[in-house]
Every structure is written in structure tokens, then in C-alpha cells.
């Protein structure tokens, strides 16, 4: 990657705010079959800018993507006239390749848009690709628009919107390392450059209830995403955790303010909960499982709706740590029941080498009547059969899921694993599996992005 050299002079780093961490507040603010090599396609992103026409100031702003624009977590905190031209440099954005896409799923990249195309029309084309789950081509097109020269350097809404699409689509298409390298161009998201009103440093008094609140100009979800990508791009996971703690402290500043409305307080409480989950995820990725466990314990919610999801996370983390007795105890005393409880108990049984017990739990008649969890139950049933040594039964269960138009990642990987174990022609059979799955998609829409790794090719 060729990095940019422009460094805005106003982007000075902020002093670290003293904090015990955002998750241990004493006032409990958390309560709540073609040849793969021969058909390689690369995206034509190059330093030559694509001729996309800038939208006029009267045009409708292209903010529609996947989630509704009414989602408060997607709202922009502050609109400024900052110069973001350093994010529009062609050298930042990598050309994309379909080398890692199975042959049956390859489609030609969109060509550069005509000069008469407006920003709104370009984003509409991107949204159309997103609706088809065509994430690689959407990432390609978002990159083309960013380097087209049509996006005004001060149009922060469009720039951040396109960056969010670009990063998300790269992740969803299996190109997280490219996204991590590109996110480095944002540099320090905690610098004064990204605040319209900087956070208070530790020399400020804490007594004032109506003191100025920090106002960041990057959408909250994009900040969360970029912090994780930067920790990967800089190969510094501890930097990512520290940045999340700073973000959590910022959430706490909002929650401690008396100027917030009830809706704003609920929003920032949700954001603090989300930061807590991201901290746990980051610690798990660092393999600091014990710290992740303590952090997750500190984020236990009190509402019934959130408690179920927290219990699921707690059980799976306990299983990963080998604390099967604790996991069983959590399930036993939780409010989870029915198929959900059977699935959690089956995970514990498999981890404890009690495969017969897991199979019995996953084949109960009540499971067939719970459609949302049926595919997951059958997938786990096949894994239990596989560990038990009954490979044929496992293959039959997974084949049934494929016939039912299921194609989630662990399903295709596990079926490809069984093909590796049972035939000398596994590559040929896995190519047929990829073609079989591609024929089940409803053109032009597909269930998700597919890579060679999904079929162990």
C-alpha cells in the first residue's frame, strides 16, 4: 500500500483522560467448476480518478444503506467544514481481486461511472449491490467514488458513509486485512482534529454538571469499526483496547451529564454497552480470556431482553475457557428454556465428549418446530455425529441443509471437511459443492459473499 503524506496540522493528540475504565463505574451507569486461476479478475482502481459528477447542494443526500437512516446509532454527531482530502487519495485504496472468489460466484467489476453520474446516483448503485449481498463489488465501487474527484473534501457525510461501506464490505468479503491497512489513513481518531468540541482533559473540574461534552464528528459505529481495524493494521491489539476504553470514558461523560434527554441517555447507554462487548471481543482476540471473562461479568445487564444475549455470551466464553461446570450452572439458573437451552446444553455436552447426550438434545421433537434455530441445531448435530465417528450421518445432515437452501459459512466449511476426509477427489467435489450452492442463489441476489476458504479450496 502506498500511504499518503498529508498530515493536517490541527490533528494534535489529546491527553489521555484518567479513568478506571468505562466498565467499572461505581454509579452503575451500565444498568441497563471453471478454472480458478484462469478466471482471476482484478478491480481497476488506479490513481486515475473516475469521472463521477459531484452532486449539487440541492440534491438529496445519499445516506441510505442497509440500515434505516432513522437508526440513532447511524446519525452524525457534528457537521463541520474540515478538509478531509487526505482520505480521498487514490494511493490509500487497494485494487481488489477475485482470486479468492470461487469461479461460480465471480462477476465482473463495475466499470468507472460516466462523467454525468452524480454522487447520489453512484451511491444508489452501491446500495443496489448491497441489497444483492454483492459486497466485493460494492467495496470496489465505493473506492471508485472516493477517488473520483467528485466528492468534496469538506463533504464529511458522504466521505464517512463511503468509508463505512468500503470497510464493512471488505470485511464481509474476506478482505479484512485490506480494510485494516486502509483504516490506518484515518490516523488518530482521538485527536482534536476529529472533535468539534474537544473532550476535557484531567485538569478540568468534575463538579460542573453542564460542562461542554465532547463532540466527535465521525459516526459512532464507524469509530468502533475503525478502532478495531486500526489495531489490526498497526499490529497493536493493546492500542485497540486502550482506544475502546477512552471511547467508553467518553460515553460515561455523556451519561453523567444532566443536560441529556431521556432518549439521548438511552442512546449513550446502548453505546456504552456496545463498547463493553467490543472490549470483550478484543480481549478474546488477544487470547486474554480471563480478563475478557471479568470484563463480560462487569457488563451484566438487568433487563430481561438483554440478559438472554449476555447469558449466551457468558456460556460460550466459559466453554472456551474449559469451565464446563460453570457453563452448566449458568444455563441451569438462567431464564433460557426450550430449543435455546437445548442448544447451549448440547455445546457443553460436546465440549465434555458426551456426544450421545448432545445428539439426544439436538434431535428432540421440539427442535423441528423452532424454525429460526433449526439450521443451527442440525449443523451442531452434524458436528456431534462427526466427533462420534459417524461421518456418513454427519454428511447426510449437512447435505439436507444445503438442499434446504442453507449456505452459511460453517456449514460449507464442515461439509468441505467431510469431503476431505472421505474422498480422494475432494477438490473436484468441493468445486461441485460451490457450483451447487451458486445455482441455489436467486439471481441477482445471493445469500452472502463467498470465498475459497468457505469451501476449503
For residue 124, give the C-alpha cell.
444508489
Residue showing cell 452532486: 55
Q: How many helices (H) and strands (E) does the chain have?
A: 17, 2
The pLDDT score that the predictor gives to residue 72 is: 42
Q: What is the rounded distance in angstroms from the CA atom of residue 260 to the CA atom of residue 268?
A: 10
Global pTM? 0.81
Give mean pLDDT, residues 448-454: 90
Q: How far apart are the first and last CA of the chain?
A: 27
CA angle 159, 162, 166 (to 5 degrees): 135
The pLDDT score that the predictor gives to residue 371 is: 80
* pLDDT cut 70: percent of the chain above it: 78
The pLDDT score that the predictor gives to residue 225 is: 96
Mean pLDDT of the chain: 82
CA angle 149, 223, 281 (to 5 degrees): 135
The pLDDT score that the predictor gives to residue 112 is: 79
Confidence band for 399, pLDDT divided at 50, 70 and 90: very high
Q: What is the rounded distance in angstroms from the CA atom of residue 91 to the CA atom of residue 1?
A: 7
Query: pLDDT tens digit string along 348-363?
Result: 999 999 999 999 999 9
Greater model confidence, 262 or 6: 262
The pLDDT score that the predictor gives to residue 23 is: 45
The pLDDT score that the predictor gives to residue 78 is: 59
Question: Minimal CA–CA distance to 112: which of 199, 195, 18, 47?
Answer: 47
Give mean pLDDT, residues 160-180: 96
Q: Which residues contact 164 (CB under 8 A, 6 or more apart)?
A: 65, 219, 221, 222, 225
The pLDDT score that the predictor gives to residue 209 is: 53
Domain boundaries in the chain?
79-185, 187-196+213-299
Eight-class DSSP state of 67: S
For residue 140, give the C-alpha cell.
470496489
Question: Minimal CA–CA distance to 319: which of 332, 330, 335?
Answer: 330
The pLDDT score that the predictor gives to residue 241 is: 94
Query: pLDDT tens digit string along 313-340?
Result: 999 999 999 999 999 999 998 888 888 9
Question: Minimal CA–CA distance to 149: which of 4, 3, 48, 49?
Answer: 49
Query: pLDDT tens digit string along 188-240?
Result: 999 989 988 655 555 555 555 566 787 899 999 999 999 999 999 999 999 99
The pLDDT score that the predictor gives to residue 370 is: 78
Greater model confidence, 128 or 303: 128
Confidence band for 150, pLDDT divided at 50, 70 and 90: confident
The pLDDT score that the predictor gives to residue 110 is: 82
For residue 198, give the C-alpha cell.
474537544
The pLDDT score that the predictor gives to residue 300 is: 86
Cis previous bond, 444, omega within 30: yes
Provide φ and ψ at 115, rounded to 5°. -65, -25
CB atoms within 10 A of CB 428: 12
Q: Give strand pairing partners of 97.
A: 42
Greater model confidence, 21 or 317: 317
Q: Which helix (H) or strand (E) holds 195?
A: strand 195-197
Q: Which helix (H) or strand (E) holds 216?
A: strand 215-216
CA distances from 196 to 77, 220, 249, 258 (A): 9, 14, 18, 20
Q: What is the rounded distance in angstroms from the CA atom of residue 43 to the CA atom of residue 141?
A: 9
> Is residue 401 within 8 Å of 391, Cβ to Cβ?
no
Confidence band for 86, pLDDT divided at 50, 70 and 90: very high
CB atoms within 10 A of CB 67: 10
Question: Minimal CA–CA distance to 134: which of 411, 450, 440, 431?
Answer: 450
Query: pLDDT tens digit string along 22-56?
Result: 344 334 333 333 333 333 445 545 444 444 544 43
Q: Give strand pairing partners of 118.
A: 53
Residue 6 has pLDDT above 50, yes or no: no
Residue 17 has pLDDT above 50, yes or no: no
Q: What is the rounded distance in angstroms from the CA atom of residue 414 to the CA atom of residue 181?
A: 30
The pLDDT score that the predictor gives to residue 413 is: 95
The pLDDT score that the predictor gives to residue 388 is: 93
For residue 263, give the C-alpha cell.
432518549
Question: Minimal CA–CA distance to 312: which of 350, 352, 340?
Answer: 340
The pLDDT score that the predictor gives to residue 25 is: 39
Q: What is the rounded distance in angstroms from the CA atom of residue 359 to the CA atom of residue 210?
A: 59
Amino acid at each position: 500500500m502506498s500511504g499518503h503524506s498529508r498530515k493536517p496540522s490541527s490533528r494534535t493528540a489529546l491527553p489521555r483522560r484518567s479513568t478506571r475504565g468505562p466498565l467499572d463505574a461505581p454509579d452503575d451507569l451500565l444498568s441497563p467448476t471453471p478454472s480458478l486461476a484462469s478466471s482471476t479478475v482484478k478491480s481497476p482502481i488506479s490513481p486515475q480518478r473516475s469521472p463521477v459528477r459531484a452532486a449539487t447542494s440541492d440534491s438529496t443526500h445519499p445516506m441510505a444503506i442497509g440500515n434505516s437512516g432513522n437508526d440513532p446509532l447511524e446519525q452524525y454527531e457534528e457537521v463541520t467544514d474540515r478538509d478531509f482530502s487526505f482520505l480521498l487519495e487514490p494511493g490509500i485504496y487497494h485494487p481488489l481481486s477475485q482470486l479468492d472468489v470461487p469461479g461460480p460466484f465471480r462477476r465482473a467489476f463495475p466499470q468507472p461511472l460516466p462523467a454525468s453520474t452524480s454522487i447520489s446516483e453512484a451511491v444508489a448503485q452501491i446500495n443496489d449491490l448491497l441489497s444483492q449481498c454483492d459486497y466485493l463489488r460494492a467495496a470496489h465501487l465505493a473506492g471508485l467514488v472516493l477517488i473520483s474527484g467528485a466528492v468534496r473534501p469538506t463533504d464529511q457525510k458522504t466521505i464517512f458513509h463511503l468509508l463505512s461501506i468500503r470497510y464493512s464490505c471488505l470485511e464481509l468479503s474476506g478482505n479484512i486485512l485490506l480494510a485494516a491497512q486502509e483504516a490506518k489513513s484515518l490516523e488518530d481518531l482521538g485527536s482534536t482534529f476529529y472533535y468539534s468540541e474537544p473532550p476535557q482533559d484531567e485538569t478540568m473540574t468534575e463538579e460542573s454538571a453542564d460542562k461542554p461534552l465532547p463532540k466527535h464528528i465521525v459516526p459512532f459505529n464507524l469509530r468502533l469499526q475503525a478502532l478495531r481495524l486500526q489495531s489490526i493494521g498497526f499490529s497493536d491489539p493493546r492500542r485497540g483496547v486502550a482506544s475502546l476504553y477512552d471511547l467508553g470514558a467518553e460515553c460515561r461523560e455523556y451519561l453523567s451529564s444532566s443536560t441529556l434527554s431521556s432518549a439521548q441517555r438511552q442512546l449513550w447507554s446502548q453505546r456504552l454497552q456496545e463498547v463493553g462487548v467490543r472490549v470483550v471481543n478484543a480481549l478474546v482476540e488477544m487470547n486474554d480470556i480471563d480478563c475478557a471473562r471479568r470484563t463480560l461479568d462487569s457488563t451484566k445487564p438487568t433487563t430481561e431482553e438483554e440478559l438472554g444475549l449476555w447469558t449466551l455470551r457468558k456460556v460460550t466464553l466459559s466453554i472456551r475457557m474449559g469451565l464446563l461446570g460453570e457453563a452448566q450452572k449458568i444455563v441451569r439458573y438462567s431464564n433460557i428454556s426450550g430449543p435455546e437451552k437445548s442448544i447451549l446444553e448440547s455445546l457443553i455436552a460436546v465440549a465434555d465428549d458426551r456426544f450421545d447426550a448432545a445428539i439426544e438434545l439436538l434431535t428432540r421433537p421440539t427442535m423441528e418446530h423452532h424454525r429460526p434455530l433449526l439450521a443451527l441445531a442440525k449443523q451442531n448435530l452434524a458436528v456431534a455425529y462427526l466427533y462420534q465417528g459417524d461421518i456418513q450421518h454427519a454428511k447426510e445432515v449437512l447435505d439436507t441443509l444445503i438442499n434446504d437452501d442453507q449456505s452459511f459459512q460453517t456449514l460449507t466449511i464442515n461439509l468441505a471437511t467431510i469431503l476431505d476426509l472421505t474422498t480422494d477427489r475432494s477438490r473436484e467435489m468441493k468445486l461441485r459443492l460451490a457450483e451447487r450452492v451458486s445455482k441455489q442463489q436467486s439471481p441477482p441476489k445471493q445469500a452472502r459473499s463467498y470465498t475459497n476458504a468457505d469451501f476449503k479450496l
